[in-house]
Amino acid sequence: MEDNLSLRVAERAEDRGGILRLTLAASDGRELPPFEAGAHLDIRVTGEGVDLWRQYSLCGDPRERGAYRLGILKDPASRGGSRALHALARPGAVIEASAPRNHFALAEAAPRSILLAGGVGVTPMLAMAHRLHALGRDFELHYCTRSRAVTAFLEEIDAAPFRDRVRFHHDDEGTLYDPAALPAPGEGAHLYVCGPQGFMDWLIEAAERAGYPSERIHREYFSADVELSGDSFEVEARASGVTVTVGPDETIAKALERVGIAVEVKCEEGVCGTCLTTVLEGLPDHRDVFLTPEEKAENAEMTVCCSRALSARLVLDI
């Protein structure tokens, strides 16, 4: 990608809960491109037997231009990306990354914002808290973890100007967040949810039951449990003039690659939206967590890294 950045690991710190905190600076010492609260970097992870692109949220103050700050969980269920970064991202190491991208943007004019973070899902929420504080907005950050002993960023939050807006919830202390505490939907609050999939699904379902409209429930999944297999179907890549059969255990992206059509894929879980493709004909079987329910109902686009077909044939603008 033409806009990729060369970043140097300026600082590295091991935090609680298996979270690696990285400070990245431009390799050439220049000022970094600005980012908005909620943005992430696509990072190329090479070494330790992997060559992958993975997405990590920026957790620093968006007003800072000299560094990007990340928090990366060493996930035991990882397919290799987080483990490799924990091993390779030493001070002085050079990392290839995209310019900041944002699929989890703040509605900055909202009368109130409720930030709901589970574990490492706090990373984009910290950037949001910095921004909302700078704007003088009304907000709360609820940070949920299994215990205080595995809660990262404690010292940073304690020193932050918004520390009085943060509420901690630890499973082992019986202080779980109660969705009944959400503001009434009629008050105009916007909700932001990020964390493990089960945590997110629980809170999103509670908010929907309470009457929150989908446009005021903002979500970002770091990973998702996705079933990739299913019945075979046909895909016509109309712009390329090629038709291919997608096998039962094959993704659309892999089937297209097999016949020489390269589709850029990064997360492989329907999380990042990199492979989003226009649907010209047919009915997709949406298995991603990137598109909203309304967008899925429109069937205008689909993620070809994980989604399949409900019709016997799909025609895609590839």
Q: At which residue do the structure tokens 């970064």 appear? A: 85
Q: Which residue has the tokens 């914002």?
A: 113
CATH number for 5-97: choose from 3.40.50.970, 3.40.50.300, 3.40.50.720, 2.40.30.10.
Answer: 2.40.30.10
- What are the pLDDT digits (tens) for 94-137? 999 999 999 999 999 999 999 999 999 999 999 999 999 999 99
Q: Which two tokens stand for residue 196?
A: 């493990």
Please state which of the four CATH numbers 3.40.50.970, 3.40.50.720, 1.10.3720.10, 3.10.20.30 is assigned to the domain occupying 233-316. 3.10.20.30
pLDDT in tens, 225-251: 789 999 999 999 999 999 999 999 999
Q: What is the mean pLDDT of residues 180-209?
A: 96
Taking only the tens place, the pLDDT of each residue in 39-53 is 999 999 998 888 889
Common-topology check for domains 5-97 and 113-221: no
pLDDT tens by residue, 67-83: 999 999 997 766 668 89
Query: Which tokens in the block code for residue 273?
Result: 């939206």
- Which helix (H) or strand (E) segment holds residue 256: the answer is helix 252-258
H or E, element range at 221: strand 217-221
**What span, in angstroms and rounded, lies between the C-alpha atoms of 214 and 205?**
11
Instruction: Give 280-298 pLDDT, tens digit per residue.
Output: 999 999 999 899 888 999 9
| Percentage with pLDDT > 90 across the chain | 86
SS3 158: helix
Output the pLDDT for position 1. Answer: 43
Structural domain spans, the chain = 5-97, 113-221, 233-316
Cβ–Cβ < 8 Å for 17, 5: no
CATH architecture of 113-221: 3-Layer(aba) Sandwich (3.40)
